[in-house]
Structure 1
Amino acid sequence: MSDITHSLLAASSEPTHYVRQTGDEPLAQDSPIRAKRRLQYGQIVTGLVAVALLALFVQSQAQNSNMEWAITWQYMFNPVVLQGVGVTIQLAVLAMLISIVLAFVIALMIQSNNRVASVIGRSYVWFFRGVPMLVQVLLWFNLAVLFPVILGQETNSLISGFTAGLIALSLAESGYMAEIIRGGIISVPPGQTDAGVSIGLTRNQALARIVLPQSIRVIIPPTGNQFIGMLKATSLVSVIGGSDLLTRVQLIYGQNFKILPLLIVAVLWYLILVTIAGIGQHFLERRFNASQPGSRKARKNAGAKATTTRTINGGALWHK
């Protein structure tokens, strides 16, 4: 072969490199490219059908004379009903706070290296999760049968319907919350605790400063769900006259025999309380998950950074 042929073959075997010339730079992009979403016709049809069925149901009930909506609106803000709403909120909040404190202690006992403490903690969870909450309410209300006198006073005078309901709800809920808190603690890798100990912290300090701040993100969502369940579970104390919302409603319809309209009053108030609690849970989760990867705030910050960050390359502004 000639020298020209050898040079051509060598040039063809080597990768070619494109050298950008002045003026070949792409135009600067002012905003990120966003893909256009296609219409989801299936979702649209399903939504229209659901709205139509809901409208038909609402119309049928609004025109139903047996519902007696006038009675419902008459008692919606009745002082007796509002007092019951206040007792329901008080029961739910106090029972939840007490159960969280108890559950934290029980969760630490279960995770303890002390086998006796671990067995006691697991037995506590086994018992209070196993016995139905309504049965516990009745047991505590009838505690005077076993102990007629406590601390020198009659048991019936110490444990009212409200007190019995509060004790039962707190103990029953603490069994569930102990498992939730324990799940949050074990979600943090053990190496985090070992790392804290290696820098001079005690295990308790590592738990308080390293493990718990990380586990709180895992604990909050199920805790909010449990609180919503607690709001509804307070209705169980109505069987012992706990003065809650359902108890007050039952007292009213026991006098005027307007059972269905008064039960609708209770339904509406429970829905209002659960909705408020759900909104609070939503913002609480956003507060603790704001800085985590994948959260809405993190994605927003990453997108803003990618849009505004630019580098000068060949005299043109390029978006990263």
Structure 2
Amino acid sequence: MSNLSGPAEIRQEVDTTPIKAIPVRRYGRWVAGAIIVFLAFIVIRSVVTNSALQWPVVGQFLFDDRILNGVRNTLLLTVISMIIGIVGGVLLAVMRLSPNPLMSGAAGIYIWLFRGTPLYTQLIIWNFLALAYSKIGIGVPFGPTFFSWDTNTLINQFIASLLGLGLNEAAYMAEVVRGGIQAVDSGQLEAASALGMSRSRTLRRIVLPQAMRVIIPPTGNETISMLKSTSLVVAIGYFELMVSAQTIYAQNYKTVPILVVAALWYLFMTSVLTVVQYYIERYFARGTSRATTQKNKWGARMLGYRFGRGGSGGGGASR
């Protein structure tokens, strides 16, 4: 009978001692953190103790009816203008990517025109459009007009604000949507075409759902930018947050505290929009590694500490 003693009888000892993770000490971070905390303390103390800011006046006008009315109009302008911008941007992006040169050219000219002129100028043009066209009508070119409206009656300050903000935003959203569509793998378009899907159905069912992961982050940024851009309607006198603030401090001469009130409301609204954007991004990122990045970053860091010695030797991670 053969002797079976040999390599099979060699037992490798397993180190079961828990791994003690020793993180790298980065003293530069501590120094930078201390400097930031010190500077933040100085800024906060300066703001809180500055008598020129008149914090009692800020508290008095923070929920003033005129301020709240301006906030409501600002939000209304933002929502409707973004709806116009998003819908128009999708249509323009589809036209821009169309193989039809007329559609692609028309979309390109629109984007060139509205991105190439200042929003402030566009708002004024829409508000004073009656100087160039006293009436707006529907009819046959070089023929009879079936319906016509007085331009000043049709385009009031609110409509002029929506046209200026919404149509300008559509030009920017068109490039955002176009970038998202082009980020989708072209092989999927070819597969959909091979299955007999129409171009519109392919866009609706395959391209746009995937493109949303690319489109949503800049769209959220555009929405926040739109919220602040509504302050430009002061050029045509529409009553929004900045106009209401100007109206108040023109009467009581409390310029600084009233501007602080407006800034606080803008910060509050942009903060809410940022939170909404975060959850929308997470919704459309489901099933991708990006969806779990924020959730798992601390867990991954701890796993990195645990498995720090697992790359060599016979030891493993103790549970």
1:201-212 equivalent positions in 2, closer than 5 A: 201-212=197-208
Q: CA, structure 1 residues 139+62, in 2 after alignment: closer, same or farther (shift >3 Å)? A: same
Which of the residues 31, 36, 49 maps onto 2:35?
Answer: 49
Q: Which has the higher contact order (CA 8 A, sep 6+)?
A: 2
Counterpart check, 1:81 vs 2:77: no
- Give yes or no for the alignment of 1:292 onto 2:288: yes
- Identity among equivalent positions (%) equals 40
CA–CA separation in structure 1 for the residues paired with 2:239 and 2:185: 46
- 1:116-155 CA distances to partner (integer Å, 9 max, x unpaired)? 1111011111011111101111110111111222354332
Q: Distance in 2 between matches of 1:19 and 1:284?
A: 59
Q: What is the rounded CA distance, in whole Å, between the counterparts of 1:253 and 1:180 in structure 2? A: 39
Partner of residue 244, structure 1: 240
Task: Report the Cα distance in structure 2 between the residues aligned to 1:227 and 1:47, rounded to whole angstroms.
Answer: 32
1:73-113 C-alpha deviation (Å, 9 max, x unpaired): 11011111011101111101110011111111111111001
Match of 1:68 in 2: 54
Equivalences for residues 148-163 of structure 1 within 5 A: 148-151=134-137, 152-163=148-159
Which stretch shows the higher mean deviation, 291-300 or 203-212? 291-300
Instruction: Please tell me the root mean square deviation across aligned C-alpha atoms, in Å.
Output: 2.7
> Given the two structures, how large is their TM-score scaled by the length of structure 2?
0.82
Q: C-alpha displacement at 1:203, in angstroms?
A: 2.3
Cα distance change on mapping 1:249 and 1:199 into 2, 3 Å: same
The residue type equivalent to 2:99 in the other structure is N
Matches within 5 A, 1:1-320: 19=7, 21=9, 24=12, 26=14, 36-151=22-137, 152-296=148-292, 300=296
Deviation per residue, 1:26-66 (Å, 9 max, x gap): 4789xx97954323322222122112112112222322222
The amino acid that maps onto 2:47 is: Q
* Contact residue 292 and residue 298 of structure 1 kept, 8 A: no
Q: 1:173 to 1:21 in 2, by over 3 A?
A: farther
- 4+ runs deviating over 4 angstroms: 18-29, 32-36, 297-300
1:275 to partner: Cα distance: 0.8
Structure ID, larger Rg: 1
- Listed as ranges, the gaps of 5+ residues in structure 1 are 1-17, 308-317
Tell me which amino acid in the other structure corresponds to 1:173.
E
Give distance in 2, aligned partners of 1:114 and 1:184: 20
CA distance in 1, matches of 2:20, 2:63: 50
For the residues of structure 1 that align with 2:202 and 2:19, how far apart are their CA atoms?
A: 45
**Which 5+ residue runs of structure 2 have no aligned equivalent?**
1-5, 138-147, 304-316
Hey, what does 1:12 align to over in structure 2? none
Residue-by-residue CA offset, 1:10-37 (whole Å, 9 max, x unaligned): xxxxxxxx955597584789xx979543
